[in-house]
A and B are shown apart, each in its own frame.
Chain A
């Protein structure tokens, strides 16, 4: 399955090398056989997938355009709702939850001819950087099975790396698409805040949540974003800005583009990661990019800012899991208040509780100004750092994570250390700018490293152009 791309599948379908139904059956069988190795899929959707594939085949038979993602096997992170198909959010609380509607991104994928073959494992309610916080067990990194795939969209990154899907959707609040993409050696994209509708994305931190694609090439990632981007009247935060033709802009020419290297992103970096990033910068120079040293001076405050804002918003968003509407209620419940408390204590895992508690604490009486309001002000300073940098440069390149994939269990006992490792990814979410990870080689022991590319609001085109030119030059 790994040889397939969106373009190759389209060609094969149009030249009748195989039908969408044949490819779907093959993809489902392969994914189900391979899944025990990684635990990346939580649910397979064979009935829905076959129906979607048959619809593609009918269109082709009738001589109609089957859509830009025709017949492409897609996996969707289990925090994005799918009508009639179990959506767990990686939580015991929702292990029986069957959503009554589809997320807009899911509707868009299927309208473009995509075939959803399953739902992927993730950290509970997207809270984590290693996929070890899933109630359904950790995902293993297909590149090195004793290592984490990153998180929180670990399953969506793993299935693309493993070849058990061609592309997938994840969600990114503080790095949850880019970091697992870098750990698994695939492309992962966090679009501009508002570029993709979040209708049907289970809310974690509403001012930071994004839906974004994973793929094995920049071109495929751009094609998926193309299909899901745009204004949606079901999400008031979705932007009306026109969606350009991302794929058409991938000419490989980046001559004269100004690239910024933020000095704050190169301290505390593992040498094997730093070496790969510097080598990638050399490639961009050879392609004709002008590389400038820049400064994003408030970077060191980003983790504190992020973990105040994200947990404050999460503590409000997760209040809805109260034992009334979403399937699971504690059996022992006596009074209404006890029912809420017992249901939430039994249902949430340790990391969710930690974040709900921190979020409640920073919003509580006497601490709101000191923590929450302060963090919102520092957030403004971090966004201003980027705005000023983008007056000098067209794109910024940086590492994604300070180190490559770590061993399963290695960091579970130290939540603060785990949070600090998100330093290079939370800033993009706080500013709301588009950012992505593109593979840039491996460490000496074979672990993938990701190059992060960031651009101005709604300038995904420049970001994709840089990533695509780098990908061509490094292949």
Chain B
């Protein structure tokens, strides 16, 4: 097994996921199966190949910036309408810094 339960817990922490113990086991198995397949890429020599971060094609003027002008945006009320908890015009979250 290339990816251990310990690795899974470390990655889960990076991803902000609280995995239960049974989920950790299953995840380790699944990730190992997937990584075994994606290791196939090592068969290929990619020296000198430019990485493709996005779709590129010949076109004029595709990524133009829009004109910088004032226009309506969401109101404070609209922006907060889906908040889990809000108050006084803000998103509310649990205490971050102890006083």
* B1 close to chain A: CB less than 8 A: no
Q: For B61, what are the chain A residues with a Cβ–Cβ distance below 8 Å?
A: 240
Partner of A374, one of B46, B64, B65, B85: B46
- What's the Cα separation between A354 and B27 when bound, in Å? 7
Q: For A241, what are the chain B residues with a Cβ–Cβ distance below 8 Å?
A: 59-60, 62
- What's the Cα separation between A97 and B81 when bound, in Å? 9
* A333 close to chain B: CB less than 8 A: yes
Q: Report the minimum CB–CB distance from A143 to chain B (whole Å).
A: 31
* A356 close to chain B: CB less than 8 A: yes
Task: Mark contacts of A287-307 with chain B using CB atoms, 8 A cut-off: 1 yes-contact digit, 0 otherwise.
Answer: 000000000001011011101
* A185 close to chain B: CB less than 8 A: no
On whether A324 and B41 interact (CB within 8 A), knowing A194-B55, A194-B62, A353-B17, the answer reads no
Q: Report the minimum CB–CB distance from A399 to chain B (whole Å).
A: 21
* A326 close to chain B: CB less than 8 A: yes
On whether A327 and B51 interact (CB within 8 A), knowing A303-B37, A307-B38, A457-B57, the answer reads no
Interface stretch, picked from A23-31, A37-45, A339-347, is A339-347
On whether A458 and B94 interact (CB within 8 A), knowing A345-B17, A354-B27, the answer reads no
On whether A319 and B16 interact (CB within 8 A), knowing A304-B37, A304-B40, the answer reads yes
- What's the Cα separation between A431 and B11 when bound, in Å? 30
Interface stretch, picked from A251-259, A260-268, A375-383, A443-451, is A375-383
Partner of B52, one of A97, A327, A377: A377
Contact yes or no, A353 B23, CB < 8 A: yes
Q: For B3, what are the chain A residues with a Cβ–Cβ distance below 8 Å?
A: 361
Contact yes or no, A416 B17, CB < 8 A: no
Interface residues of B in 67-99 (CB under 8 A from A): 74, 78-79, 81-85, 91, 93-96
Contact yes or no, B96 A336, CB < 8 A: yes
Partner of B15, one of A98, A356, A371, A431: A356
How many chain A residues touch B (Cβ–Cβ < 8 Å)? 74
Q: Closest residue to B48 on the A side, CB-wise?
A: A377
- What's the Cα separation between A193 and B57 when bound, in Å? 10
Question: What DSSP secondary structure best describes chain A's contact surface?
Answer: helix
Q: For A381, what are the chain B residues with a Cβ–Cβ distance below 8 Å?
A: 44, 46, 49
Q: For B8, what are the chain A residues with a Cβ–Cβ distance below 8 Å?
A: 357
Partner of B79, one of A97, A100, A303: A100
On whether A357 and B12 interact (CB within 8 A), knowing A98-B81, A323-B84, the answer reads yes
* A217 close to chain B: CB less than 8 A: no
Contact yes or no, A337 B51, CB < 8 A: no
Contact yes or no, A377 B46, CB < 8 A: yes
Q: For A458, what are the chain B residues with a Cβ–Cβ distance below 8 Å?
A: 57, 59
Contact yes or no, B51 A376, CB < 8 A: yes
* A308 close to chain B: CB less than 8 A: yes
Partner of A315, one of B15, B33, B41: B15
- What's the Cα separation between A357 and B12 when bound, in Å? 7
Q: Report the minimum CB–CB distance from B23 to chain A (whole Å).
A: 7
Contact yes or no, A415 B27, CB < 8 A: no
* A190 close to chain B: CB less than 8 A: no
- What's the Cα separation between A339 and B63 when bound, in Å? 38
- What's the Cα separation between A194 and B38 when bound, in Å? 28
The 5 closest A-B pairs by CB, nearest first: A432-B55, A376-B51, A329-B84, A341-B18, A380-B52
CB<8 Å pairs between A and B, sample of 29: A207-B53, A233-B66, A237-B54, A240-B60, A241-B60, A298-B44, A301-B41, A304-B39, A307-B37, A308-B38, A333-B94, A336-B93, A339-B93, A344-B16, A345-B17, A348-B17, A354-B27, A357-B27, A357-B31, A364-B11, A364-B14, A376-B51, A377-B52, A379-B52, A381-B44, A416-B37, A419-B34, A457-B59, A458-B59
Extra contacts, 15 of them, besides A342-B18, A353-B19 (Cβ < 8 A), are A98-B82, A193-B55, A327-B83, A329-B84, A334-B94, A338-B18, A358-B31, A361-B7, A374-B46, A376-B53, A377-B50, A378-B46, A383-B56, A416-B30, A432-B57
Name A residues whose Cβ lies closer than 8 Å to a Cβ of B.
96-98, 100-101, 192-194, 207, 233, 236-237, 239-241, 298, 300-301, 303-305, 307-308, 315, 319, 322-329, 333-342, 344-345, 348, 353-354, 356-358, 360-362, 364, 371, 373-381, 383, 415-416, 419-420, 431-432, 457-458
